[in-house]
A and B are shown apart, each in its own frame.
Chain A
Amino acid sequence: MQDPVLKVDGLSVTFRSSLAILDDVSLEVRRGQTLGIVGESGCGKSMTALAIMRLMPSAALKVSGGDIRLNGENLLALDEEAMRAIRGSRAAMIFQDPMTSLNPLFTVGNQVGESIRKNRQIDRAEARQITVDLLKAVGLPDPERHLDYYPHQLSGGKRQRVMIAMAIAGNPDVLIADEPTTALDVTVQAQIFQVLRDMQAASGTAIVLITHDMGAISEMADRVAVMYAGRVVEEGPADEILAAPRHPYTRGLVSCIPRVSDEAFDGWPELPVIPGTVPDLDKRGAGCHFAPRCPLADDRCAARRPPVLQDGERRCACWYGMAGGPAA
């Protein structure tokens, strides 16, 4: 098997050197593949993405351990100048809210053109032509006309297409998509996913898709990593995990997927929820962070950190997880 394009190994990030935001996060994604990262808000999904891009929003956040390798090169060892050369060319990112992620004062053509010219020594006319091609590739109708539009004149779906065009302008090895469709409606979400899949098929770019939507995972991801409170609790092939989740948290997430079936219409069974919320940073104990909300938890879960058990392609961090557990 080929080496992963992006390999995150034991990444830890702390806030003010004491509170663990990310705790021993390991992920990898191969060329042409999509890794889904799921979890509730506050689980560290976006922080993982920003840490990979070395775009931590505050100086109080520091990487305290692990490494991040892009095609074998350790990104954490690079100086800011070298990292800047990687952003946008070898690793690119698209964001959750396309409404606010484009500079409101410049036209679409100007912004996409600048992101092309950042990586290549070409003149404006050439950049304009490449921009048109890119906008066509992301399915924006009549791209020439859209060049002179300002972001506020575009719908959310169109803006996200523009964001994708900017992100793939440098033909990156890995594209991190941080909840790219959360702010969009469902039909537009399907279109955006199609754009990402087409782009991936054409270029072989590895995608890291961050989402809280298990439906998006089943649609897009080859592998999935489930995060909870800064840790990866379960990781493996997406279809296996969706079909047979092992960690109780994953099971909770999977059972929360609404399904339209015959029985769903008679009697309207209640959609299950996972009780409670993600614990605050300063209220995370020594054991399994999910223990306070877990139906299986006992004293051992609260006291000691569960081991990460490897089983072929899958791994799971739960005292009960790998064997299927008592309530499996």
Chain B
Amino acid sequence: MSDSRSPEVPSPLREAWAAFLRNRAGVFGLAIIAALIFLALFGPLIYPVDPFEIVAAPLTPPAENARVPFGSDYLGRDILSGIVHGARVTLFVGGAAAAMTVVIGVLVGAAAGYWGGRTDRFLMRMTEFFQVLPALLFAMALVTLLSPSIPIIATAIGVVSWPAMARLTRAEFLRIKSQNYVTAARSSGAGDLYLITRVILPNAAAPLIVSTALVVGMAILFEAGLSFLGLGDANVMSWGLIIGSNRDYVIDAWWTVTIPGLAIFFTVLGLSLIGDGLNDALNPNLRER
């Protein structure tokens, strides 16, 4: 290594960010999600129509009435307003469910992979128990038993989706645990907590970050599915609720489900593209030179 090298050396994160920016699909995904976040934060201020207010004739097609540019639903409510106001709920459910998935999954997976032995066997049997539960039925049961409110829905999604994250974390921990730098850190007196949080987890972060992006997308789809089945929170506007409440009119009023469906589609697409871009950026073996 030459000594004339400039002292400004990129950190691994900065390098990954630069690689991500070279990935066009990933940047496109990031643009979609950035727009969605903007919509969720400021949309209701810019377009303050109440999504539950009846503002036009029922099932007005798009572009017919200037008051409802995206058309109206079976009660005459503004679909554009539903999209704008529902963005917040959609993002919240996706984010909260993903956060829960990551917290439970990483804790369980890290403990199982790090300590191994009996701890591993117990935690993995527990993980498998949750994994073989039919996810949709379990979430439906949970929501029905408790209440169909947004926090409960997010919790239900988190509960059914953490096992995959736990298994991924465990696999990464098993792989990294036997690396030389872990033994070296241990030989210099590092304790369990230090090894887990400062040595192993940072090196396991790349696939976990990627799958977190995908979990957000999956959680949004899941919420839409629950709403479609009528298990959403009927008092809070969400994209799934628009689709669910108009499902009897699909044949006559395509826009009532197509427009919120496209919103969900682009959101999940954006998250997947981000996940893909992150995967390429964080995995130097896949990075294009």
Contacts and interface: CB of A to CB of B under 8 A. Distances in A.
Interface of A: 53, 55, 57, 59, 84-89, 92-93, 95, 97, 100-107, 114-115, 118-119, 141-142, 145, 148-150, 153-155, 158, 163, 166-167, 169-170
B189 A119 contact: yes
Interface of B: 1, 3, 5, 7, 9, 11-12, 116-117, 178-181, 183-191, 198-199, 202-203
Contacts of A167: 188
A275 to B, nearest CB: 33
A13 to B, nearest CB: 17
Nearest to A176: B187
B12 A57 contact: no
A119 B190 CA distance: 10
A163 B188 CA distance: 10
Given A87-B186, A114-B198, 11 more contacts: A88-B190, A89-B189, A95-B180, A102-B184, A104-B181, A106-B202, A115-B188, A118-B188, A150-B12, A155-B1, A169-B188
A103 B194 CA distance: 13
User: Does more than half of chain A's interface fall in helix, strand or loop, or is it mixed?
Assistant: loop
The 8 closest A-B pairs by CB, nearest first: A88-B189, A88-B188, A87-B189, A93-B187, A100-B180, A101-B184, A101-B180, A103-B181
B189 A103 contact: no
29 contacts: A57-B178, A57-B183, A59-B116, A84-B189, A84-B190, A86-B189, A87-B188, A87-B189, A88-B189, A92-B187, A93-B184, A95-B183, A95-B184, A100-B180, A101-B183, A102-B181, A103-B199, A103-B202, A103-B203, A104-B12, A106-B202, A107-B11, A118-B190, A145-B7, A148-B9, A163-B184, A166-B188, A169-B188, A170-B189
Contacts, number: 83
Given A95-B180, A103-B181, A148 B189 contact: no
Nearest to B187: A93
Contacts of B198: 114
A103 B180 CA distance: 9
A90 B137 CA distance: 58
A92 B181 contact: no
A155 B12 CA distance: 18
A86 B7 CA distance: 36
B185 to A, nearest CB: 7
Contact of A88 (B12, B183, B187): B187
